Copies of this chain bind each other. A is one copy, B any other.
C-alpha cells in the first residue's frame, strides 16, 4: 500500500499562556507525514521556499518520508502565527503569509499517481479537488478542512466532500458545516453527502467516528499538560491513515484501530512545541501509548 499526503509545510510562530516559539517548522503536511511515518512510508506533496531548513528535510528523509512531490521554490515558506488561550481549544490566528503557497498548484508526481490512499490535508478545497483529478483510482480518499474554507469556499468544499471516503473535522466545524447543534446529527448529515466515515475530533474530549449505522467513541488521553496543540489534528490524520496503510484494509475494525493510532499520535504531538516530540519518539513509546488507550477504556 502507499499513502500520499497533500498539505502545507510552514513556519509557525506560536504563543501559549506559558511560552512562545518563533518561526518553528509546522504545517498540516509536515505534521501528518511525520505521524504517518511511524506506520508507513508516506509520500508528501507540497511546496517550501528556499528558506526551509535543510535539517528538517534531512529529518524527513531519515523518517523515510518520500519527498519527490515536494517543490522547493524561490521565495519564502508559508508562515502562520497564532495564539492559544488557557483553554487550548481556543486559538486566534495572529498572522498568515502565503508566500510560495500563494500560487501553488499541487502536482502528483508519476510515482504517486497510483497511491492507494490519498489524504487531502487542510488546504484550499479547489486544490484538493484538483489533486483528485490527477489520481488514478485510489482505494481510499480522506480530507480535512478548517473553518476558513467552510466560511469562504463552502460550495467547493462540498464538491470535494462528495468524492471522499473519510472526512476529518472537529466538532465545531461539523456543526458549522451542517447547521446542526447536535454533533451526532451533524455527523449523519456529513455521511449523507457521501463519505463512509465522519471522523469528528473533539480535542481533549477525544473523537467520535460515525459510519452508516456505526459509531466508535474514544476519550482523549488524560493529559495534565498541553504544551502546544498545533498540529494535533494533522497528526491524528497521520496516525489514522498511516496505520490503515500498514494494515492494508479498511474494515470497521481497521477504522477503529486507526482511530486509536490517530489519537496516540495526536497525544504525542501536543507534548512539545511544533514537531519536537517526533524527534525523540520511539516505536516502543507509540505501542505503549496504544496500550494505555486500551486500558483507559477497558471495562
Contact = CB atoms under 8 A, between A and B. Distances in A.
A184 B184 CA distance: 26
Contact of A181 (B86, B184, B206, B256): B86
A297 interface: yes
Interface in A23-52: none
A103 interface: no
A219 B218 contact: yes
Contacts of A222: 183-184, 208, 210, 215, 217
A181 B225 CA distance: 10
A290 to B, nearest CB: 10
Interface residues of A, number: 35
B216 A217 contact: no
Assembly stoichiometry (copies): 2
Interface string A223-264: 111100000000000000000000000000100110110000
A297 B184 CA distance: 16
22 contacts: A87-B181, A182-B223, A182-B225, A184-B224, A188-B224, A205-B205, A205-B219, A206-B206, A206-B217, A208-B219, A215-B222, A215-B296, A216-B296, A216-B297, A217-B219, A217-B220, A217-B297, A218-B219, A218-B297, A259-B299, A260-B299, A294-B299
Interface of A: 86-87, 181-185, 188, 202, 204-206, 208, 210, 215-220, 222-226, 253, 256-257, 259-260, 294, 296-299
